Amino acid sequence: MKMHLFSHKFQKPAILTFIISQVLVFIYFFIRVLHDPQTAFIPFADHIVIFRIALFLYVLAVYGSLFFIIFSKEKVEDEYISKIRLESVAIVAAFFICISFVLLLIQCVQPLDIYREFRQMFRDLFAGLIYWAPFVYICVFKYKLRHQA
């Protein structure tokens, strides 16, 4: 099976973009918490459009950089690295399918009227799983690459 991957040169700018976007968001929320801790995570009412555009650009920067990190070749790309890529995807997929099944099972068991906040928490956890999947893939791939060589 032929894999179409980006050049290795895409990894460094992608990592830099990811780090810069995380630092900027951290600085933004740090300034907001210092300004007013009660409304730190609520966007300014008069700047809602700017906030939404900034949020869109942040998500684009994070997932765009992760996309380039995940789909970039290593310096030496061979069949062994392709095997590690496939194993990493399988591990992450199995892990997230199991976690998703457990969250879904817990949510279905709870009575619908009593645990509204509880269900909201599990919905947020599931959204967090989707957010963290690329990070976990990168960690598993890099770990297997370094420790199985």
Given a cut of 70, whether residue 39 has pLDDT beyond it is no
Give the pLDDT mean for 110-126: 64
Q: What is the predicted pLDDT for the residue at 60?
A: 84
**Are the C-beta atoms of 89 and 144 separated by less than 8 Å?**
no
User: Rg of the chain's alpha carbons, rounded to an integer?
Assistant: 19
How far apart are the C-alpha atoms of 93 and 99, rounded to whole Å? 10
Task: Please give the backbone phi and psi of residue 6, each rounded to the nearest 5 degrees, phi first.
Answer: -75, 165
pLDDT in tens, 54-76: 778 888 888 888 888 888 888 87
Q: What is the DSSP string of 103-148?
A: HHHHHHHS-TTT-HHHHHHHHHHHHHHHHHHHHHHHHHHHHHHHH-
